[in-house]
Amino acid sequence: MARRTSPWPSSPRRSADCTDAAVALGPSAARGTDQSRETNGESRWAGTVRAETSETAARIRTTPCAAYDRVIASASARAVPYAWVAQIRPGGAILTPWGNAYDNGALARLTVDEHGAAHGPFVDNTVAFMWLRAQRAVRPTPPTEPADAAESTTTLHPDAVAWHDYDAKFAVGLRLPDVSVRFSDADDGSDDFTFWAFSGPSWARVDVTDGASTYQVRRHGPRALWSEIEAAYRWWEEIGRPATGRFGLAITPDRQYIYLDSPDNLVRSDHREG
């Protein structure tokens, strides 16, 4: 099998000083270019980049190494740039916050294999980071409600799918990555609130009165977003309510996909554009 080569032209060979090469990405990255550190009496390179949070920033090489041992991102990715994977040696690691429009709270730890792909588990679902600059989304605002909004009721409390249970919220987000959600508290100081879901021209709202067991649903647009959220929640329950740690993320040159327990048990796949 041919050895995987670095995508960077004229890259120098890894030397003894590159045994712990790393790059930090995100708004908390150091402002300098190259810096070194002392570890166990050895001088090792720790590459950093400027406070950039785009895929382009991932292409800035700041160590004399042909490949990094790890990338540590401090900004959340919807789609992990393959440029990160391409710069990591086989066996190296990527630690990155990850999320989607529905839930931005996961942390993935990926290992790069000898074929130039990376995969690994989600190790946390309680973190929250700002987005990579190129992957930010406009936060929607509640619309002026049109008169033709369809009405229904539900017994599923919005907290069950978007607040109390982080595992449920993560799982629902896997099925509905393009749906944004938000809560609006009542103006009277009570515990009543409204849950909103948005995607394109579609929206749904669930009005929750404290102590009630049935809640009013209103929706508008081509998609029945609350029904989709209910269906995603039922899917999670039907597969045994798996914890976030049983899901994993895989990155290849042409796609990013989510799996359950094993990389061959695909849950969702997103192909890259271009």
pLDDT at residue number 139: 77
**131 and 248 belong to one structural domain:** yes
The residue ranges of the chain whose pLDDT is under 50 are: 1-22, 28-64, 274
Nearest one of 270, 169, 145 to 229, comparing CA atoms = 169
**255 and 201 belong to one structural domain:** no
**249 and 180 belong to one structural domain:** no
CATH, residue 226: 3.30.310
Query: Which range marks the domain in which residue 205 is found?
Result: 150-238
**For 19, phi and psi rounded to 5 degrees?**
-70, -10
Indicate the number of domains in the chain.
2
pLDDT at residue number 54: 41
In the numeric block, which tokens belong to residue 115?
Answer: 């074929």
- Over residues 39-75, the pLDDT tens digits come to 333 323 333 333 233 444 444 344 445 578 889 999 9
**178 and 210 belong to one structural domain:** yes
Instruction: List all residues 6 or more positions away from 169 whose beta carbon is below 8 Å from its beta carbon.
Output: 102, 103, 105, 125, 161, 162, 163
Nearest one of 21, 132, 7, 15 to 80, comparing CA atoms = 132
Domain membership of residue 84 (yes or no) is yes
**131 and 247 belong to one structural domain:** yes
**For 22, phi and psi rounded to 5 degrees?**
-145, 160
Domain membership of residue 249 (yes or no) is yes
CB count in 10 Å sphere of residue 8:
13
pLDDT at residue number 63: 47
With 0.75 as the threshold, say if the pTM is over it.
yes
